[in-house]
Structure 1
Amino acid sequence: MLKKTLAALALGTALLSAGQAMAADYTIDKEGQHAFINFKISHLGYSFIYGTFKDWTGTFSFDAAKPEDSKINIDVKTASVFTNHAERDKHISSKDFLDVATYPDAKFVSTKITNVGKNADGKTTADVIGDLTLHGVTKPVTVKTTFLGEGKDPWGGYRAGFEGTTSIKRSDFGKMMDLGPQSDTMDLDIVFEGVKAK
């Protein structure tokens, strides 16, 4: 009787474990330059400035069978801002804007995954909701995300890739130089591959 009870418990535990999604851990491949955080912002309503952050790292956990259980953490070095103009980059890094000496990091930590679905190409989409800390202020943001695919790479690793978009208002993240309402919104495009932990 005891053996049957133990066997039943063991079987139940095995079935329960088999039914649970096993999310894998990934490191974003910044070293191989397969990761980009690009931004676009209006310049006085007359044109647009495009830029990127050249130094950032991140990790995420993901299982395609249960994308709603995914998690992501990103850390951006604000001094790595690059707009292809040295004087402008210096100004953006100053106290007028990012104040990188005081706030050297911007961070995003996911808190919830919602609205999981499929786009016209059959790719999984979702809203990644998380806390963005920028310029000493933390606010919730929603990133519209698409799962681009996963599989083995030529170097013996396993990768998963995503792209996402969001918009933030500079005025939500502390006092920065006011360039008018047309220059308040910043659009962000994020694309990255993650390498699965071995």
Structure 2
Amino acid sequence: MSKIRTSLLSAALLGMTLSHSAIAADYVIDDDQKGAHASINFKVKHLGYSWLQGRFNQFEGKFSYEPDNLEQAKVSVSIDTSSVDTNHARRDKHLRGEDFLDTSKHSTAKFVSTSITPAKDGKFEIKGKFTLNGVTNDLSIMASKIGEGKDPWGGYRAGFSGTTEFALKDYGIDFNLGPASTHVYLDLHVEGIRQ
């Protein structure tokens, strides 16, 4: 085989290798309630004196991720809003009602990423569309990778954490909680299983 043909073949194989390595791997968020390794937590100030904290117990999602090519990464998460849990049954019932989540009409909240870009200190910004209470707005999440690698069951996992905030009024929730309680802060922990 001539040197020229050998060089062309080597270049083609290298191109195929690089192309394959740039393809993002697909992950499913580990939300199995028997061994969940993901959580969606929230907090809002109570009268400006303390924090009221809660979580959503039921959600599902997936993401595509390639560490060397964040631009190809994607995230999609759906939340069952009726699974809201603040460890107080009467308050949770109120949150499911018309004053807040109105779960009889809007049982699902959803986030779908539109772009993911590197930021400072190893973090990255996930921009996307967030739908809550029937309203969709842009939302930005500051995230960081916790780690990735093989698990004890023969699988491969990757984990991330992120934070964001939004104004209640931006999603049609205008129940008066006081001037210090206008925003909700989300604390996200996601562990995905590679498919």
Could you say what the CA RMSD is over the residues aligned between the two structures, in angstroms?
1.7
Structure 2 match to 1:164: 162
Structure 2 match to 1:192: 190
Q: How far 1:67 sits from its partner (Å)?
A: 2.1
- Is the partner of 2:71 in helix, strand or coil? helix
What TM-score does the superposition give when structure 1 sets the normalisation length?
0.88
Report the Cα distance in structure 1 between the residues aligned to 2:185 and 2:173, rounded to whole angstroms.
19
CA deviations over 1:46-88 (Å, ceiling 9, x no partner)? 2210000000000000011112321000000000000000000
Matched, 1:19 2:18: yes
Structure 2 match to 1:29: 30
The correspondence for 2:115, drawn from 104, 112, 117, is 112
Structure 2 match to 1:74: 77
CA deviations over 1:108-147 (Å, ceiling 9, x no partner)? 0000012344x3xxxx310000100000110111100001
1:184 counterpart letter in structure 2? T
Identity %: 44
Report the Cα distance in structure 2 between the residues aligned to 1:76 and 1:69, rounded to whole angstroms.
24
Q: How many residues align?
A: 187
- Is the partner of 1:91 in helix, strand or coil? helix
Structure 1 match to 2:140: 142
2:37 counterpart letter in structure 1? H
Q: How far 1:162 sits from its partner (Å)?
A: 0.1
Report the Cα distance in structure 1 between the residues aligned to 2:114 and 2:37, rounded to whole angstroms.
24
CA deviations over 1:24-67 (Å, ceiling 9, x no partner)? 00000001310000001011222210000000000000011112
Report the Cα distance in structure 1 between the residues aligned to 2:146 and 2:82, rounded to whole angstroms.
29
Unaligned runs of at least 5 residues, structure 2: none
Report the Cα distance in structure 2 between the residues aligned to 1:168 and 1:132, rounded to whole angstroms.
10
Matched, 1:133 2:146: no
Q: Contact 1:169 / 1:185 at 8 angstroms: preserved in 2?
A: yes
Report the Cα distance in structure 2 between the residues aligned to 1:169 and 1:64, rounded to whole angstroms.
32
Q: Contact 2:76 / 2:113 at 8 angstroms: preserved in 1?
A: yes
Report the Cα distance in structure 2 between the residues aligned to 1:130 and 1:67, rounded to whole angstroms.
14
The correspondence for 2:101, drawn from 85, 98, 101, is 98
What TM-score does the superposition give when structure 2 sets the normalisation length?
0.90
Unaligned runs of at least 5 residues, structure 1: none
Q: Contact 1:135 / 1:174 at 8 angstroms: preserved in 2?
A: yes
Report the Cα distance in structure 1 between the residues aligned to 2:146 and 2:71, rounded to whole angstroms.
16
